Amino acid sequence: MAVADAAPLTLRAGWLIDGVDGSAVPNAALRIEGGRVAACTPADAMPRERGGQLIDLSDFWVLPGLIDAHLHLWGLAAGDTAPPNMEVRLERARRQARALLLAGFTTVRDLGSPAAPLLRGERGPSLPRILAAGAGLTGARGPWLLPQPAWWEARVIRGPASARREAQRLCGEGVDVVKIGASTGPRGHDDDRAAARAQRRSRGHDADRAADRAVARAQRRSLRLGAAAGVRYAAGTDSVGGALTPHGPGNALEVALLGQELPPAPAILAATRDAARALGLADRLGTLEPGKLADLIAVRRDPRRDLTELQHVEFVMKHGQPIHPRARLFPSPS
Ligand SMILES: [Zn+2]
């Protein structure tokens, strides 16, 4: 059944964080029609319409669906030493994407993997909305000319004309976004300087750990400086799946980490409103306002008091369709 034909439904929220400014209102109701938010009112003011479904989340905090603005659906698994064949990778990446959706990530942006452009074509409620970059563009001495095995494709550009040509080729392949590797290393220059200074002061493994700590301190500092200057952040984990950074509830750890340097509201907005802006989708995603797609999640406790609550999402709706297995606990005829 097409989303547009789905029966309208009313969703009651004990508390609603609509994502417009990070504040919460008690006892709210959302009217959802054709997969979109049609109205948002105090629960008492919502007219009871016949034939619609009621989803009662009166004991929950309801927020916009989470967005991870930077990850990789590589189809990795523990013990892989080389990329498996594409069929295996695609099936694994599909399972990882599904895990993300069940964890509350209704939209993800894949910044480089061969599987994501294929998965994004699999429309339907079982996967998150996927924006895919496909191959990345990098200079001849760029950061992604990785030693083999190559987990994804980096195409070398050698000046403006070849950059244009490769970007047009990617667009012809149907990518949503073009990824460009412009720096010479995986970190920013300030991070590299901090790491180098720390390494000079230590030796061996201690030097590596000291370098990691120095990088973390530099990154925390730049986060604080940016926030003080009015910069808005989009949450992006750079998780690659597999054993090292499995996709799922752990992707929301990013919000809790942001919350160590930012107040809770902007940390939540980084994974909702501001991530939608970064993806160019603010006109349809990121907040729960009339006209927006009905992508939302519910958690038991106030995530502003404890951002790790976002790693315990109990209800997920994407484009007006309840997704989470526990969603069957909630619908009841009106
Ligand atoms: Zn990345």
Specify the pLDDT at position 203. Answer: 63
**pLDDT tens-digit readout, 127-147:** 999 999 989 898 887 767 666
Q: In the structure encoding, which two tokens stand for residue 47, read together? A: 């007219």
- Cβ–Cβ < 8 Å for 129, 89: no
Phi, psi of 134 (to 5 degrees): 70, -130
**How much distance in Å is there from the Cα of 284 to the middle of ligand 1?**
25
Taking the centre of ligand 1 as the mean of its atom positions, its distance from the CA of residue 144, in whole angstroms, is 10
Exposed/middle/buried for 271, CB within 10 Å: 0-12, 13-18, 19+? buried
> Which tens digits make up the pLDDT trace of 149-197?
677 788 889 999 999 999 999 999 989 999 988 765 544 555 566 666 6
Low-confidence ranges of the chain (pLDDT < 70): 1-5, 48-51, 143, 145-149, 183-205, 325-334
Cβ atoms < 10 Å from Cβ of 82: 8
Residue 132 CA to ligand 1 center (angstroms) comes to: 12
Domains of the chain from N-terminus onward: 3-64+286-333 (2.30.40.10), 67-186+231-251 (3.20.20.140)
- Separation of CA 281 and ligand 1 centre (Å): 20
Q: How far is the CA of 213 from the centre of ligand 1 (A)?
A: 20
Helices 204-228 and 189-201 cross at an angle (nearest 10°) of 150
Q: What is the pLDDT of residue 333?
A: 41
Q: How far apart are CA 315 and CA 103, in angstroms?
A: 9
CA of 250 to the centre of ligand 1 (A): 16
Cα 238 to averaged position of ligand 1 atoms, centre (Å): 5
Report CA(234)–ligand 1 centroid distance (Å): 14
Residues 314/318/321/324 CA torsion (nearest 10 deg) = -30
Task: Quote the pLDDT of residue 326.
Answer: 62
- Rounded distance from Cα 239 to ligand 1 centre (Å): 7
> Nearest Cα to 248, choosing from 257, 236, 239?
239
pTM: 0.90
Distance, CA 111 to ligand 1 centroid (Å)?
6
> What 3-state DSSP class applies to 283?
coil
How remote is the CA of residue 110 from the centroid of ligand 1, in Å? 8
pLDDT attached to residue 330:
55
* CB of 309 closer than 8 Å to CB of 302: yes
Is 179 in a helix, a strand, or coil?
A: strand
**236 CA from centroid of ligand 1 (Å):** 9
Can you give the pLDDT at residue 189? 52
Ligand 1 center from residue 179 Cα (angstroms): 10
Instruction: Name the residue among 204, 233, 200 with its Cα closest to residue 214.
Output: 200
Distance 42 CA to ligand 1 centre (A): 41
CA of 327 to the centre of ligand 1 (A): 32
Q: Rounded to the nearest whole angstrom, what is the distance from the C-alpha of residue 112 to the centroid of ligand 1?
A: 7
- Whole-number Å distance, alpha carbon 71 to ligand 1 midpoint, is 6
Torsion of CA 126, 129, 135, 138, to 10 degrees: -140
